[in-house]
Structure 1
């Protein structure tokens, strides 16, 4: 299933169904017909977010079914990201299967360095010229300004310490930072292990405060694409 299809489904269950129904046992029972007991496990996962161990966090993501084929990004987001790459080096934090890196490589053949980061990299495809690094977004093993462009899609919504994660992304980005998150509302029963929810573009702007002068924050389908140009380092 691609992102465009799930976005249409999300419109119905997130915006059309009233909250009193979305948080009800009736919805949980209906959702269980699709995902069984996993729908209840996800609700419990969010409730226990501040108390989860690293092992519990990792186990949930290893067991969580992959909904989208290859990438969580829509084609419109992919096209915008590929066209927005600057410089010679790119780091995709939360690279998953490496699908987005493949698009970036094809669309930017002059790149000299492509790096994919995820805390579980077993699913990452072997792509010529791409290096993979296993790491947590809250503590990235790179120097300040190591990459011209840093990309992070569909990750911030999963991270409890999201402000620390955003600070790390900014730290390693020398020229440009691109972030994509889903535009969604929080309900008790959901099909994803998200901690953070951004129903409007201005909701995400609060998350990335302070916002630099040169930035973009737009709605693409049911996703929010945020891009900022990093300040030039003082010589």
Structure 2
């Protein structure tokens, strides 16, 4: 299944079905027909978020079914990101299978250094010419301003301390930071292990406060694309 299909499904689930039904046992029962007991595990996972151990966190993500083929990004988001790369070094934090890095390289042949980071790089496609690092987003093993462009897609919604994560992304970005998160509402029973929910673009702008003067925050088919630029010293 691709992102465009899940976004159409999300429209029905999030915008058409009223909250009183979304949080009901009836919805839980219907969702269980598709995902079994995992739908209840996800609800418990969010409820216990402040008390989860690192092992519990990692175990759930390893067991969580892969919904999308290759990447969680829609084609429109991929094209937007690839066209927004600045400089000749790029780091994709939360690189997953490495598909986005491959698209970035194809659209930006002038990029000399491509780096992928994930808390577990088992899924990485090991694309030739890409260096991979296993690390948590809250503690990235790079120097300040090490990369011209830092990209982070479909990660912030999973991070309990998302402000620390955003701070780390900003720290290693020299020129540009690009973040993509789903535009979605929170309900008791959802099909993903998200902690943070941003129903509007201005919801995400609050999350990245303070927002620099040079920025862009737009809705791309139920996903929020955010870009900020740093003022370079002369």
What are the Cα deviations for residues 24-76 of structure 1, in whole angstroms up to 9, with x where unaligned?
A: 00000000000000000000000000000000000000000000000000000
Separation in 2 of the partners of 1:84 and 1:164? Answer: 24
Separation in 1 of the partners of 2:128 and 2:46? Answer: 37
Q: Give 1:74's aligned residue.
A: 74
Q: Give 1:177's aligned residue.
A: 177
Separation in 1 of the partners of 2:120 and 2:184? Answer: 25
Separation in 2 of the partners of 1:216 and 1:106? Answer: 24
Q: Give 2:22's aligned residue.
A: 22
The question of 1:61 aligning with 2:57 is answered: no
Asked if the contact 1:170–1:230 (Cα under 8 Å) also holds between the matched residues in 2, the reply is no
What are the Cα deviations for residues 77-135 of structure 1, in whole angstroms up to 9, with x where unaligned?
A: 00000000010000000000001001001011111100000001000001111011000
Separation in 2 of the partners of 1:139 and 1:132? Answer: 15
The equivalences for 1:37-116 within 5 A come to 37-116=37-116
Q: Give 2:215's aligned residue.
A: 215
Separation in 1 of the partners of 2:230 and 2:113? Answer: 19
Task: Quote how far apart the aligned CAs of 1:231 are.
Answer: 2.4
SS at match of 1:210: coil
Separation in 1 of the partners of 2:113 and 2:123? Answer: 20
Separation in 2 of the partners of 1:41 and 1:102? Answer: 34
Q: Give 1:144's aligned residue.
A: 144
TM-score, with length taken from structure 2 = 0.99
Separation in 1 of the partners of 2:16 and 2:181? Answer: 21
SS at match of 1:150: strand
SS at match of 1:227: strand
Give ranges in structure 2 of 5+ residues lacking alignment: none
The question of 1:186 aligning with 2:186 is answered: yes
For these two proteins, the number of residue pairs brought into alignment is: 234
Q: Which runs of 4+ in 1 moved over 6 A?
A: none
SS at match of 2:116: strand
SS at match of 1:199: coil
Separation in 2 of the partners of 1:168 and 1:222? Answer: 26
Q: Give 1:197's aligned residue.
A: 197
Asked if the contact 1:150–1:169 (Cα under 8 Å) also holds between the matched residues in 2, the reply is yes
Give ranges in structure 1 of 5+ residues lacking alignment: none
